[in-house]
Amino acid sequence: MSTTVPPQGFRPQTAAPATARAYGFNAPDAPTALAAWRARYKGYRATVPSVPCLAPSRKSSLRVSYSSNWGGYVATGHSNYNEVYDDQNIPTYSAACGSNRNTMASPWIGLGGYGGSTKLIQQGFDAGSSDTATTGARMWYEYLNASHQNPLVYIGSTKRTGDVISQYMTYGSGKAVFHWYDRTTGSGWSPVTVSGLSGYYDGRTADFITERPFGSLRKFSRQTFSAAGARYGSTFKDLFKLSTTEVRLTTNGASSGAAMFTNTHSTSSSFYQTWKRCS
């Protein structure tokens, strides 16, 4: 694992593509693609150093259609997904559900982990700047396979709530690069590069999920996934221009359970989750 902090004054939206790539940003050379890429970073002003540290291990697996701890959408239809990206707001807790312990939700994007796959590379954030916090978020990445259920690696946190966190993750030749950018403040965390991940990569799905990691869960404010899409090979597409499967989070992980939240598809690249209950 490595992370490179750009020098003071670095701006991905104005840097030459080669310079941006040197600091972990996957800037393309083609003018049209570069213009679209730079638009993602409009307003970027500063880079916060990522400081990776291991989190306690937690089980990760994904069920088809219904789950007791996942909800969102999975893009299918290709075997070579190599980039996934979106914008997500940091939600707020409802105060109606009692103790705030073990109540975090984790919105994330990832590659693999669906339909019986045991391989998954993912990144996201936990709602709450600590295990018991009711505001802010902690940024993390993780990679898993049948033999290695590795813990999350936290890279930094924010105490802000409601901000829009822009994320994208790329994979190629056994290496994944993870990016987080607070679009509201114009501040990004330095990209984290992890090598040796060929045994964790499954390019058959690109995932856009909110997870209930463990324990009881409070209700949250609306969780919005926007500017969501993926790349397969060299082709970029919005999430709902790809074949997708909805994954529904229910209280018992089956269709007979009560929905924790509903997923509503709103545009070709957006959906939102409306929370229904505590658990």
User: What is the mean pLDDT of the segment spanning 68-89?
Assistant: 95
The 10 Å CB-count burial string (b at 16+, else e) for 143-169 is bbbeeeeeebbbbbbbebbebbbbbbb
Phi, psi of 161 (to 5 degrees): -125, 140
- pLDDT for 62: 40
- pLDDT for 103: 61
Percent of the chain with pLDDT over 90: 70
- pLDDT for 158: 94
Of the two residues 123 and 91, the one the predictor is more confident about is 123
Q: Is the pLDDT of residue 64 over 70?
A: no
User: What is the mean pLDDT of the segment spanning 93-111?
Assistant: 75
For 175-193, the DSSP string reads EEEEEEEETTTTEEEEEEE
What confidence tier does 267 reach under pLDDT thresholds 50, 70, 90?
very high
| Tens of pLDDT, residues 205-232 | 999 999 887 666 778 888 999 999 999 9
- pLDDT for 57: 60
Are the CB atoms for 57 and 193 separated by under 8 Å? no
- Hey, what are 94's tokens? 């409802």
Residues 6+ apart with CB under 8 A from 200: 112, 119, 120, 121, 143, 144, 145, 148
The sign one gets for the Cα dihedral 73, 78, 81, 86 is negative
| Tens of pLDDT, residues 10-38 | 999 999 999 999 999 999 999 999 999 99
Taking the C-alpha atoms of residue 183 and residue 42, their distance in angstroms, rounded to an integer, is 8
Taking the C-alpha atoms of residue 65 and residue 167, their distance in angstroms, rounded to an integer, is 25
- pLDDT for 121: 98
What confidence tier does 257 reach under pLDDT thresholds 50, 70, 90?
very high
The listed CATH number (3.40.50.20, 2.50.20.10, 3.90.1640.20, 2.60.120.700) that belongs to domain 51-275: 2.60.120.700
User: What is the mean pLDDT of the segment spanning 184-201?
Assistant: 97
User: What is the mean pLDDT of the segment spanning 91-103?
Assistant: 67
- Hey, what are 91's tokens? 């939600």
| Tens of pLDDT, residues 117-145 | 999 999 999 988 777 777 899 999 999 99
Average pLDDT, rounded, for the chain: 90
